[in-house]
């Protein structure tokens, strides 16, 4: 099967991009959902791409989804790599967008994207050879790597009861688990590893 790789990338050091963000959601704060660290570019993408080239050369095509930006060091003539602007995949009413969770909902709109693809942040690396079987089962279904938390539902309920606020990430995990429980009758008390996902 053809397998592609999709990155979300932003250069939060770019003054033009900063002005757009500040006008839309305000300057960075200490809050997790709008802190400087969420948007900082420390050059990780270059090394992540190198790790893919070395340890997963079977990747068919790499798509870098970004907001009207291109890494200055990137060879855009490389036929294996394509920069995809948010405007190509997201509706106008959702732009500009600074929420990676929302952007992820539109990845399937990337023109030419294979049905089977991996999703990565720019700070993820591969440090040994991997094969498609690392990410997809023989039937083509994705392999999910999860941190199992058998008492997560109880722990989240207790935090709510005690008035301890959940991070945006934990809210997303809780909401997803509740949706699965509502539709399939099973609560999965786990969260994804911070890794490349299929």
Residues 151 and 123 in one domain: no
- Pair (17, 85) in one structural domain: yes
Q: pTM for the whole thing?
A: 0.85
- Number of domains within the chain: 2
Query: CA 179 to CA 144: how far, in whole Å?
Result: 18
Check if the beta carbon of residue 90 is closer than 8 Å to that of residue 101. no
Residue 139 lies in a domain: no
DSSP H or E segment with residue 159: helix 152-162
Residue 132: what pLDDT?
A: 97
Residue 116 sits in the same domain as residue 50: yes
pLDDT at site 29: 60
In-domain check, residue 197: no
Predicted pLDDT of residue 189: 78
Shared domain check, 112 and 75: yes
**Do 151 and 107 reside in the same domain of the chain?**
no
18 inside domain: yes
Q: Are residues 172 and 107 in the same domain?
A: no
pLDDT in tens, the chain (198 residues): 999 999 999 998 899 988 988 888 777 666 655 556 667 788 899 999 999 999 999 999 999 999 999 999 999 999 999 999 999 999 999 999 988 889 999 999 999 999 999 999 888 999 999 999 999 999 999 988 877 777 888 888 888 888 888 877 788 888 888 898 999 998 887 777 777 887
So what's the pLDDT on residue 164?
Answer: 85
Both 177 and 106 in a single domain? no
User: Among residues 31, 33, 36, 30, which one has the least CA distance to residue 18?
Assistant: 36
Q: In 3D, which of 90, 85, 104 has the Cα closest to residue 169?
A: 104
Domain membership of residue 166 as a residue range: 146-192
């Amino acid at each position: 099967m053809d397998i592609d790789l999709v990155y979300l990338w932003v250069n939060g050091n770019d003054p033009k991009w900063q002005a757009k963000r500040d006008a839309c959601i305000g300057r960075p704060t200490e809050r997790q959902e709008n802190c400087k660290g969420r948007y900082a570019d420390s050059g990780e993408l270059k090394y992540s791409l190198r790790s893919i080239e070395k340890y997963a050369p079977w990747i068919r095509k790499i798509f870098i989804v970004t907001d009207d930006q291109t890494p200055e060091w990137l060879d855009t003539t490389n036929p294996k790599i394509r920069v995809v602007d948010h405007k190509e995949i997201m509706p106008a009413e959702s732009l500009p967008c600074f929420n990676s969770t929302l952007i992820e909902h539109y990845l399937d709109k990337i023109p030419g994207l294979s049905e089977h693809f991996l999703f990565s942040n720019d700070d993820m690396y591969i440090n040994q050879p991997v094969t498609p079987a690392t990410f997809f089962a023989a039937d083509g279904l994705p392999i999910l790597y999860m941190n199992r938390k058998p008492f997560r539902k109880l722990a989240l309920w207790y935090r709510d009861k005690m008035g301890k606020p959940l991070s945006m990430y934990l809210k997303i995990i809780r909401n997803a688990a509740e949706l699965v429980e509502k539709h399939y009758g099973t609560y999965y008390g786990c969260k994804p590893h911070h890794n490349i996902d299929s």
